[in-house]
């Protein structure tokens, strides 16, 4: 928890307040109260507690992955994104979202001009099975000689939600929704329900997010056009120039560190940060004799920020980057000029099924690699590493 708190404190000094705009035109007192709360919602998903710290090294990272699968946990960063996107689709201004540990101090609501804080906590995925005989074959004596068996798997995920006014410290509402998803399995023996928890995670998160959004949706007649995203309150917090520096690495991968760096850059740009183009960063560093990540230690963060005209710097070191078994692990640090502090998080990511083919498509898009070259890299693990490393930073909600 300490590392997340330090990261929040490190980056919490760059915002100014502005008057809020009103997204809705309320028709009654209940709608008026809801409209005020939904002007600029700040969505926070609680990071699940792990049973204990994983052992060090690759084996430890892999064993923790298997524990997470067995417990049926969903990726908190994906749930936060899905909830923010669904809320915006329902008409609420889900302005910013992030992942945070339970009960940790959070400076961002005030900095980002949040009208309310929506805290979400996901339970564990539960999967049940039901056996059905769809067809039988009988002999002349009427005995069953063969049957076609269908297993109906039903997954459920509970999501606890609490909406609060950060200024008054008042809880406005608290409730739970349960997302559901189903799958058919044709086989004789009973399927392993634990194996389907991660396979159903994406559908369950989407259903939870849609059910959540319906609880906050106002009638269409009560909505107004609102203010364009580029003029949202608190958006100036994202304006300081940010440079993603060349990664250092302890791997044998030729393309991996560059691909991971480009993926982190793309995630920060999508999150709304004013990222400096990588070509511009590399050219400025080369002018001072720096072409590799390992050479960054020869300059102070203040010097690098001056050369790059940047107020935020992102460092990273990759310890593992491999295809089989799929693993991307390392550390990512963010230095902020105003506080002159650096906060570091340690991240491990594996080839998770919840991303489907998204990782491969994203890796090809940001890296410019051919499909054949990208296929040699752990695409989903690369994307998961970037998202998990940046999960505690506020992110602007995706467009509807």
How confident is the model at residue 65, as a pLDDT?
A: 54
Q: 250 is in which domain, residue-wise?
A: 234-396
Residues 181 and 275 both lie in one domain: no
Which CATH number does the domain housing residue 283 bear?
A: 3.40.50.10610
- What is the share, in percent, of the chain residues with pLDDT greater than 70? 76
Closest residue by Cα to residue 114 from 170, 160, 77, 165: 165
CATH of the domain at 160: 3.30.160
Contact 301, 342 (CB under 8 A): yes
On whether both 190 and 267 belong to a single domain, the answer is: no
- Section 72-89 average pLDDT: 86
Using the 3D structure, point to which of 222, 254, 276 is the last residue of a domain. Answer: 222
Lowest mean pLDDT among 23-37, 245-259, 348-362: 23-37
- Give me the DSSP letters along 383-399: HHHHHHHTTTS-EEPPP
Q: Are residues 211 and 254 in the same domain?
A: no
pLDDT at position 22: 36
Flag whether 361 is in a domain.
yes
- The DSSP-derived string for 158-180 is EEEEEEEETTTTEEEEEEEEEEE
Phi/psi at 129 (5° precision): -130, 150
Q: Is the same domain home to 74 and 142? A: yes
Assess contact for 348 and 329: CB atoms under 8 A: yes
Query: Does the pLDDT value for residue 81 go beyond 60?
Result: yes
Q: Are residues 171 and 270 in the same domain?
A: no
3-state SS, residue 24: strand
Model confidence over 269-326: pLDDT tens digits? 989 899 999 999 999 999 999 999 989 999 999 999 999 999 999 999 998 888 887 8
242, 185: one domain: no
107 in a structural domain: yes
Provide the whole-model pTM: 0.80
Residues paired with residue 98 on neighbouring β-strands, in sequence order: 44
Helix (H, G, I), strand (E, B) or coil at 105: coil
Q: Is the dihedral of CA 363, 80, 5, 13 positive or negative?
A: positive
Note whether 126 and 29 are within 8 A (CB): no
SS3 state at 327: strand
pLDDT for the residue numbered 127: 93
Beta strand pairing call for 126-138 and 395-396: unpaired
39, 177: one domain: yes
Contact 253, 322 (CB under 8 A): yes
Q: Is residue 11 part of a domain?
A: no
Residues ≥6 apart with Cβ < 8 Å to 290? 246, 296, 298, 299
Q: What are 5-29's pLDDT values in tens digits?
A: 545 545 554 443 333 333 444 455 6
CA distance 38 to 43: 11
Instruction: Examine the domain organization and report whether 92 and 113 are in the same domain.
Output: yes
Residues 387, 318 share a domain:
yes
Q: Is residue 62 part of a domain?
A: yes
Q: Which residue has the higher pLDDT, 24 or 56?
A: 56
158 and 21, same structural domain? yes
The encoded tokens of residue 257 equal 């560190």
Q: What separation in angstroms does the CA of 5 have from each of 242, 245, 331, 343, 344?
A: 21, 23, 16, 9, 11
- Claim to verify: residue 326 and residue 389 sit in the same structural domain: yes
**Structurally, how many domains does the chain consist of?**
2
216 and 242 together in one domain? no
Residue 398: predicted pLDDT: 66
Report the alpha-carbon angle 298-334-268, nearest 5. 120
Name the β-bridge partners of 242. Answer: 275, 312
In a domain, 8, yes or no: no
Higher pLDDT, 60 or 214: 214
Residue 94 placed within a domain: yes
């Amino acid at each position: 928890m300490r590392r997340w708190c330090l990261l929040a404190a490190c980056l919490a000094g760059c915002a100014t307040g502005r008057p809020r705009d009103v997204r809705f035109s309320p028709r009654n007192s209940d709608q008026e109260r809801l409209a005020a709360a939904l002007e600029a919602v700040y969505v926070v998903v609680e990071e699940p507690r792990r049973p204990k710290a994983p052992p060090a090294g690759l084996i430890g990272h892999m064993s923790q992955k298997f524990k997470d699968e067995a417990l049926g946990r969903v990726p908190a960063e994906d749930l936060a994104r899905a909830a923010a996107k669904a809320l915006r689709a329902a008409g609420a201004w889900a302005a910013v979202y992030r992942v945070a540990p339970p009960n940790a101090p959070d400076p961002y609501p005030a900095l980002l001009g949040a009208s309310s804080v929506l805290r979400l906590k996901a339970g564990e995925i539960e999967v049940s099975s039901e056996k059905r005989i769809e067809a039988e074959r009988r002999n002349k004596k009427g005995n069953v000689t063969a049957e076609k068996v269908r297993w109906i798997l039903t997954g459920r995920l509970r999501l606890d939600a609490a909406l609060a006014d950060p200024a008054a410290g008042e809880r406005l509402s608290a409730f739970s929704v349960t997302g559901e998803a189903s799958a058919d399995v044709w086989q004789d023996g009973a399927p392993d329900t634990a194996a389907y928890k991660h396979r159903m995670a994406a559908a369950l998160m989407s259903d939870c997010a849609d059910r959540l959004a319906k609880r906050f949706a106002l009638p269409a007649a009560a909505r107004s056009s609102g203010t364009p995203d580029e003029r949202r309150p608190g958006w100036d917090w994202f304006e300081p120039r940010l440079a993603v520096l060349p990664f250092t690495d302890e791997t044998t991968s030729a393309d991996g560190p560059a691909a991971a760096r480009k993926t982190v850059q793309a995630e920060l740009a999508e999150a709304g940060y004013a990222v400096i183009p990588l070509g511009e960063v590399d050219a400025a560093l080369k002018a001072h004799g720096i072409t590799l990540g390992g050479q960054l230690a020869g300059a102070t963060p203040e010097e690098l920020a001056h050369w790059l005209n940047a107020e935020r710097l992102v460092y990273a070191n990759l310890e593992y980057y491999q295809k089989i078994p799929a693993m991307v692990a390392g550390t990512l640090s963010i230095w902020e000029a105003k506080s002159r502090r650096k906060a570091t998080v340690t991240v491990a990511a594996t080839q998770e099924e919840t991303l489907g083919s998204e990782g491969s498509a994203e890796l090809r898009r940001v890296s410019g690699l051919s499909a054949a070259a990208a296929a040699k890299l752990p695409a989903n693990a690369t994307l998961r590493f970037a998202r998990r490393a940046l999960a505690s930073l506020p992110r602007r909600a995706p467009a509807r």
